Every structure is written in C-alpha cells, then in structure tokens.
Amino acid sequence: MVEVEIDIEKLTVQELLATTAGVASALENNPNFPSPTPTPAQLDQLANDLSQAEERYREERATAAAARSARDDIAVELRAALAKEVEYVQKASGGSIAKILSANLHVDEGSSIWPFNRLGQVEEVSISAGDQPGEIDLAWDPVAGASGYEVQIAYDLLGEGPWEQSGATTGSKITIEKLNNRTRYWFRVHAVREGATGEWSEPVTRFAR
C-alpha cells in the first residue's frame, strides 16, 4: 500500500491554492471517493477566502511600502533640518553649556548631543527563510549611534518568552542557523554600544523550513 506524499506545511500560499483547487476538482463526483471530508465545496470556499485575504495582504503591503518610503523621505528632511538647527545652536551659544541645555540639547564630552546617551529602538524588522534548511534571515533599519545588535529567540506560541540569546552582529542583518524544521520561532533585536542599550524591537515570527 502506498501513501499520499505531500508536505502541506511547506506549500506557499500560491501552491496551497493551486493544490487545493486541483484536489477539490478531482474529488467532485469522483466514484472512488463518495464522501470526501471536507467536501470539495468547503475546500473551494476556504481557498476563495484565502485568495481574497492574500489579495488584501498584497495591497496592504504595497501601501505600507509606499507609506514607509514617504516616511523615510520626510525623515531625511527632518534630520537635515535638525542638524541645521543644532549647528545654529552651537554657533549662537558660543559653546556655553547653559545656553545649549536651554535649547533642550545635551552636552556630554565624547558623546552625541542626542538622544541623551540612549539608543533608539530597532524598527522595521523583516524575517524570511534563509538560503539553507534550518536558517532564518533577519534584517532591520540601522539605529544611529549603535555599534552592534543583539538578537534573542523564543520558542513559545505567543512570542512572550522566555527569551534566549540567539546571536549578535555589527551590521543590520543576521542569519540564524541550525533551527528545527517546521518549528515556529520568535525573534527580537536591540541596539547596543558601550554603556548604552536600546529597547527591544517588536517580536517577529516565522516557521523554519
């Protein structure tokens, strides 16, 4: 006796839709399978729901990408404007600590004037399958002033921890290796430098393949 060979967990959304359509069509009025469970109609309905959800996801992802691009453009303008303002304060203050502090800017020998010796939160963490089985790739927006990043991993279903150290890098991306196939993992990242750490990013999750 042979067994059906299919790894449903590894199917992409498009592969899942195509496979479901083929199976539902083949089982419709098939005398070899008089009482399929679920019925072909139920499979078709779920496939239709998934197709609509996938379309909404793609539209929202495109909108999000455009919004992010617009945000980044404005951020570039704001950084330039703030840098110009800081330059003005530096010149107009004549280097007076009191005057600089009155502009809500910080003076600390050997450190930047903003943001008060703290690091920002890691944002825009993306997660994808790595090149090899058991690998997951992470990437994120660089944090100003960071000398490196720490990555933590969690194995629970909700991404609430406990968290364990998973890796560290000086860049804004990393590949996590030796993960178990078809297991969900959660990851979070924060920026570090000597004497300072940033807040942890929002957790992201993916099944290892």
Q: pLDDT tens digit string along 143-168?
A: 988 889 999 999 876 767 789 999 99
Percent of the chain at pLDDT exceeding 90: 48
Q: If we measure between CA atoms, which residue out of 149, 139, 152 comes closest to residue 185?
A: 152
Return d(Cα 86, Cα 174) in angstroms, integer.
Answer: 34
Residue 107 covered by a domain? no
Instruction: Identify the domain boundary among 59, 82, 102.
Output: 59
Could you tell me which of 66, 68, 193 has the C-alpha nearest to residue 120? Answer: 193
Q: Give 137's contacts (C-beta < 8 A, 6+ positions apart).
A: 127, 128, 129, 130, 173, 174, 175, 176
> Which among 66, 92, 78, 202 is positioned nearest to 144, based on CA atoms?
78
User: Given pLDDT bands bounded at 50, 70 and 90, which one contains residue 122?
Assistant: very high
Would you say residue 128 has pLDDT above 80?
Answer: yes
Residue 126 amino acid letter: S
- Does residue 105 lie within any of the structural domains? no
Looking at residue 171, the DSSP 8-state letter turns out to be S
* Mean pLDDT score across all residues of the chain: 87
Distances (CA, A) of 35 to 7, 38, 48, 83: 23, 9, 22, 71
Q: Using CA atoms, how far apart are residues 154 and 66, in angstroms rounded to an integer?
A: 31
Element (H, E) at 165: strand 164-169
pLDDT tens digits, 41-86? 999 999 999 999 989 988 888 888 888 889 888 988 998 998 899 8
| Count of domains observed in the chain | 2
Is 199 within a domain? yes
pLDDT at site 86: 87
Query: Residue 100 domain-assigned?
Result: no
- The radius of gyration of the chain's CA atoms, rounded to the nearest angstrom, is 25
Q: Is 3 within the bounds of a domain?
A: no
The answer as to whether 135 is a domain residue is: yes
Residue 158 lies in a domain: yes
Whether 135 contacts 175, CB under 8 Å: yes
The boundaries of the domain holding residue 19 are 8-59
Nearest to 41 by CA among 28, 51, 32: 28
Residue after which a domain boundary falls, among 22, 43, 59 = 59
pLDDT of residue 102: 77
From 43, 59, 75, give the residue that closes a domain.
59
Contact 127, 140 (CB under 8 A): no
Q: What CA–CA distance (Å, rounded) separates 89 from 99?
A: 8
Instruction: State the CATH number of the domain containing residue 154.
Output: 2.60.40.10
Average pLDDT over residues 105-121: 60
